[in-house]
Structure 1
Amino acid sequence: MTAFMIIVCVLVLLQISYFLVILTGELTFWLKDRLGEAYRKSKKQQEAVPFTATVMPKA
């Protein structure tokens, strides 16, 4: 009976750790995708508005 309980506990712990690995992998992929999308969007906005140097008026 004790061996059975140990096997069940080990299997449950393996399942939980597997779930956490999959979940963190999906979250990492989602975050990387969102950050890449935001980066591309900001790059596109920067290219649309050309950089203009501001000139300080003479005093």
Structure 2
Amino acid sequence: MNAAVVKKTQETLGKVIKKPPLMEKLLSKPPFRYLHDIFMEVRRNSWDFKIA
């Protein structure tokens, strides 16, 4: 993945989430669990409702 894309992703998502760490190695070739953790953290921090 392009280093500029990784940097932009770190800057953008870094404003919304703190965990999991947005490391270049993981963002370049992310495992499924890492993507899942990012999605769940964004959902938890961004949406006004919670799913039980």
TM-score, normalisation: structure 2: 0.32
Q: Which has the larger radius of gyration?
A: 1
TM-score, normalisation: structure 1: 0.29
